[in-house]
Structure 1
Amino acid sequence: MRNHLIALSLIAVLGIGQAAAAEVQISFQEPEKFTDIRPTNETRSRYQQRVQTAFEKMFSDMAAQMPEGYQWQVTITDIDLAGDVDYFAGNGGQALRIVKDLYSPAIRFSHVLRDQQGDEVLSGEERLRDMGFLQRISRPSARPEFEYERVMLNDWFGKNVQPAVTQHAAVTPKTAQ
């Protein structure tokens, strides 16, 4: 029972921590023209919606690591998922996503991050591709869907956005006085 209460307390604390997060607005510019969001065994529109939902969650998770009051506008202009879809007659005509080094994940997007006063903290046009994606993740049997893309985005976020936010936060109180 005590472990159960500790777990509930931890969940409550984590939930409160997530409330203080940046607001993120995500849009997808002509997703039907994206390089590769091809489904294997479902309709294209349903898979496209699932991909969009997954990427919205990825960006929301990153925004949760930023200070409350920040606003982040992201426009995704292209997605190329890890792997490539191929149809095999030996598989009953079913499609399979084949993941090889050759088919690395990529994403293109533009973004603007503003602080609580509306001042621009960071902006740009990003073209990310993770050529070494297969060397970065172990235990393929336990990999969640779109994990290669999530790792690529989190790496970019940790190297580019977090340092800019930290630097901006360190400078802002001095200039605001």
Structure 2
Amino acid sequence: MNLHTLFRTAAVTVLLLAGSQAAARTVTDPDRPRQLENGHPVSVSWDDPAGFTELRYSGNRWEAKQGNWVVELAEYLRERVGKALPAGQRVDIRITNIDRAGDYEPGRGMNADRIRVMRDIYPPRLWLSFTRYDADDRVIGQGEPRLADLGYLQRTSRHFNSDPLAHEKRLVDDWVAREFGRAGR
């Protein structure tokens, strides 16, 4: 085997491995669980992210499905609701749709379609379905809130500017404060 063939084989192997690694890190990977682990008073599950507005109407679907942002948002939701939930109560939450703040705009030049552009026309939106139970397992609240922040660019965020989910987390904070009262702040 000559050096050229060896180099080509190694390059193809690296590309195949990199491709399989990238595929495993997408939010639409069918092998990924669609819920957080149980054993917590706040259970969070979600519909198939492939059906979320964030992916279906994205200007760059490949870029939009990268990462672990659905799980990160679900963990944040569990944490915030868990802090606000009175002792003995539990909540089951299902994320039914996500449309993250900003969007990818195709046709902006070489690799510019990989940049999430923030504009007023791309507000963050989050659709939930939840059921709240008391200590005796009776339903004491339920709903299907559709959260949106149309003025998200005019508000400051308590989250770090480098947090790619800062606007979505603010939606969660606002909803928890409304739904669970001052304990949610």
- Helix, strand or coil at the partner of 1:36: helix
Q: Distance in 2 between matches of 1:91 and 1:139?
A: 33
Match of 1:142 in 2: 161
**What is the CA–CA distance in structure 2 between the aligned matches of 1:44 and 1:91, rounded to whole Å?**
17
User: What is the DSSP-based 3-state SS (H/G/I as helix, E as strand, rest coil) of the residue aligned with 1:136?
Assistant: coil
TM-score by length of 1: 0.67
Residue 111 of structure 1: SS of its match in structure 2? Answer: strand
Offset, 1:121: 2.3
* Structure 1 gap ranges (5+): 1-21, 166-177
More helix by share: 1
In the TM superposition, residue 39 of structure 1 has moved relative to its aligned partner by 9.4
Give the TM-score normalised by the residue count of structure 2.
Answer: 0.65
Percentage of matched positions with identical amino acids? 25
Q: C-alpha root-mean-square deviation of aligned residues, in Å? A: 3.0
1:58 aligns with 2:106: no
Residues 54, 39 of structure 1: alpha-carbon distance in 2 compared, 3 angstrom cutoff: farther
Contact 2:59 2:103 (8 Å CA) reproduced: no
Distance of 2:136 and 2:59 partners within structure 1: 42
> What is aligned with 1:100?
119
Of 82, 98, 119, the match for 1:79: 98
Give 1:130 deviation, angstroms. 0.6
SS of structure 2 residue aligned to 1:69? coil
AA partner of residue 24 (structure 1): V
Q: How many residues align?
A: 142
User: Which residue is 2:138 aligned to?
Assistant: 119
Aligned to 2:109: 90
Provide Cα deviations, 1:127-172, integer angstroms capped at 9, x if missing partner: 111101111125998341211011111111101223699xxxxxxx
Question: In structure 2, what is the Cα distance between the partners aligned to 1:79 and 1:42?
Answer: 16
Instruction: Tell me the secondary structure at the aligned position of residue 74 of structure 2.
Output: helix
Which moves more between the two structures, 141-150 or 118-127? 141-150
Bigger share in strand: 1
Q: Post-superposition shift, 1:33?
A: 0.7
Secondary structure in 1 matching 2:70: helix
User: Which of 154, 159, 179 matches 1:160?
Assistant: 179
| Residues in 2 aligned to 1:138 and 1:34: alpha-carbon distance in whole angstroms | 24
